[in-house]
Amino acid sequence: ITITQSSQLTTSTFDYVIVGGGTAGLVIANRLTENPHVSVLVLEAGGSDQGIVAAEAPFLGPTLTPNTPFDWNYTVTPQASLNGRSFPYPRGHILGGSSSVNYMVHQVGTNEDWNRLAAVSGDPGWAWNNMRQYISKTEKFVPPIDGHNTTGQFIPSLHGFNGEVLCSLPGGNQTIDSRVIATTQQLAEFPFNQDTMGGDHSLLGVGWMQSTDGGGIRSSSSTSYLAQANSRPNLTVLINATVLKLIQTGTSGSLKAFRSVQFANTGATSVATCSGLRTVTARKEVILSAGSIGSTQILQLSGIGDAKKLASLKIPSTINNPNVGENLSDHPLLPNVFSVKGNLSFDGILRDPNQINNAVGQWISSRTGIFSNNVANHYGFARLPPSSTIFKTTHDPAAGPTSPHWEMVFANFWFNPTVALPATGSFMTIVTVVISPTSRGSITLASSNPFDKPLINPNFLSTDFDIFAMRESVKAIKRFLAAPAWSDYVIGPFGDAFSKAKTDAQIEKYIRGLATTIFHPVGTASMTSAKSSAGVVNPDLTVKGAAGLRVVDASVFPFVPSSHTQGPVYLLAERAADIIKAAA
Ligand SMILES: Cc1cc2nc3c(=O)[nH]c(=O)nc-3n(C[C@H](O)[C@H](O)[C@H](O)COP(=O)(O)OP(=O)(O)OC[C@H]3O[C@@H](n4cnc5c(N)ncnc54)[C@H](O)[C@@H]3O)c2cc1C
């Protein structure tokens, strides 16, 4: 059952308390309550995702962030390598978490990502050979909304058809689709990739996007894992409940137990003025699934972090671990906008309120039309050539020899998150992304007030490798568009900065003035081997030095996967549920 008021709770003790009803949290909630004798409470700060058109119509997903009630509305600290710019850093503040507000691109990382995780953590259970099994538990591949023949657009044998989350191929033409595919035939540098999910199949090349939607509707952890389990009497999901901290409940040998959770109604600005302050306790475990930012913040507010830094905020230290909040790793994004001929781009529709209303109406009445489809139909991944000068000074940071260094995503409209659509013009955007970044940042508390936003510093493009890879991605997409397929369509780079970006120095200047995030923060509660004092969690996701406490969310990945991160989080959470069940 999902409830909205803490007064509806009939008990304060559950077998498990899950903090955060997001992507990972709702997977754990579903799997643990498969056993009717196990009781689970989920505490979620955000509200319901039901009845919100933008959370359902795939194309409208990007309107859910930033600066909305569905977003935590964080910003990054001024980024030293991006001309001191600060910009939004979206995270879902809604049931389903970021899976309810994200762009739904579906991938699971490369086999090398998972094998590296197994090597770093010393747990072979994280290797791809073992993780592969969870695809069939998460994925339910369904036909695209337009019912077209998908032969050759994905490899069915790699996929699951009976899992929880709906996945599908694009169900509408983006009008540049045939040009993208033709380019893969015209340029050897950019081969066609028949399946872009990753795992058993290489991510390298350009192919059809797979999205977590079905029937023209977003599929999130809420519409899938939770919807399937919500009627179980042993599951309670309390929304509008913001967790303030964990409370130590004793010791277990040398470990400190944290089985109590303090929370209050969402919406307050300080502990003194909050309402509904309450504590619940887990008989077995508390599972932190509040995401790369939320879980880190809660750990630090509970005294689990750098004792010196916490002392300066007058937070008593419980477990001194300076690694908490460090190692923040994210994929930087660059929206490269090109002017194009004609009026086939979507910009005409997107700047005309009448056409938008019609498209919303069509989506509401039949789940069809432009808003039933995701914002992109194609994307591709590539490696830097081995002869690249950067490898003379930098060890190759990719997850392995067949994992990508950078990504490109194609959208036939203006897709520049930080700049509004101009009043006239037709555009195409090729977003490029550094996929194997070496920059590392941090999340630190701004104050001891749990309602204050933490200081988020991803430290984007602060290493030679990252700026090199982004620079080469800009050159590569220009080569991509030099294919005959584009000769009668693309006019050229849009805007002064991009038009002038010709030499390496000019391209770097352009990048530093424009780059932002593709929303994939990980690493702030990194998994390391059980023997290691580096990191925050052990391979079984228990918090180092703690009893009764695990972290299960994107924060535990020590390296950002070589792909979009939602799919890796689903697989991680599925295995975590097995680990938790086995420990019970
Ligand atoms: C705008 C956007 C677009 C993205 N696009 C894609 C994409 O296309 N493809 C892809 O693969 N990935 C994408 N991602 C990334 C992906 O969605 C995330 O990596 C993934 O969902 C993270 O899952 P999680 O479980 O770690 O955290 P989340 O899903 O964010 O869950 C954390 C939950 O905890 C709750 N919470 C946090 N703090 C508290 C607290 N103190 N008390 C109570 N509850 C709390 C939050 O409200 C949230 O519901 C995108 C992310 C965003 C934000």
What pLDDT digit, counting tens, does each position of 36-61 carry? 999 999 999 999 999 999 999 999 99
Q: Is 532's pLDDT higher than 80?
A: yes
Question: According to the model, what pLDDT value does residue 408 have?
Answer: 98
Average per-residue pLDDT for the chain: 97
Give the whole-number percent of the chain exceeding pLDDT 70.
100
373 is in an annotated binding site: no
159 tagged catalytic: no
Atom 20 of ligand 1, nearest CA residue: 566
Question: According to the model, what pLDDT value does residue 263 have?
Answer: 98
By C-alpha distance, which of 476, 260, 293 is closest to 382?
476
Identity of the amino acid at 572: L
User: Ligand 1 in contact with 109 (CB < 6 A)?
Assistant: no
Q: How far apart are CA 126 and CA 530, in angstroms?
A: 14
Reported for 188-191, long-range contacts at CB under 8 A and 24+ positions apart, including other chains, are: 189/382, 189/476, 189/479, 189/480, 190/380, 190/382, 190/480
37 tagged catalytic: no
Question: According to the model, what pLDDT value does residue 387 have?
Answer: 97
Q: How far apart are CA 532 and CA 116, in angstroms?
A: 16
Q: How far apart are CA 531 and CA 461, in angstroms?
A: 32
Output the DSSP codes for 453-471: PPEEE--TT-SHHHHHHHH
Distance 99 CA to ligand 1 centre (A): 6
Q: Is 417's pLDDT higher than 90?
A: no
Question: According to the model, what pLDDT value does residue 323 have?
Answer: 98
Ligand 1 pocket test, candidate residues 49, 102, 168, most atoms within 8 A of CB: 102
Ligand 1 pocket test, candidate residues 445, 541, 565, 570, most atoms within 8 A of CB: 565
Q: Which atom of ligand 1 is nearest to the CA of 25?
A: 25
User: CB under 8 Å to 468, separation ≥6 — which residues?
Assistant: 384, 388, 389, 390, 394
Give me the catalytic one of 93, 378, 405, 520.
520
Average pLDDT over residues 152-173: 97
Question: According to the model, what pLDDT value does residue 419 have?
Answer: 86
Question: Cα angle vertex 282, ends 279, 283, to 5°?
Answer: 135
Q: Are strands 235-238 and 40-43 parallel, antiparallel or unpaired?
A: parallel
> What band does 418 get if pLDDT is binned at 50, 70 and 90?
confident
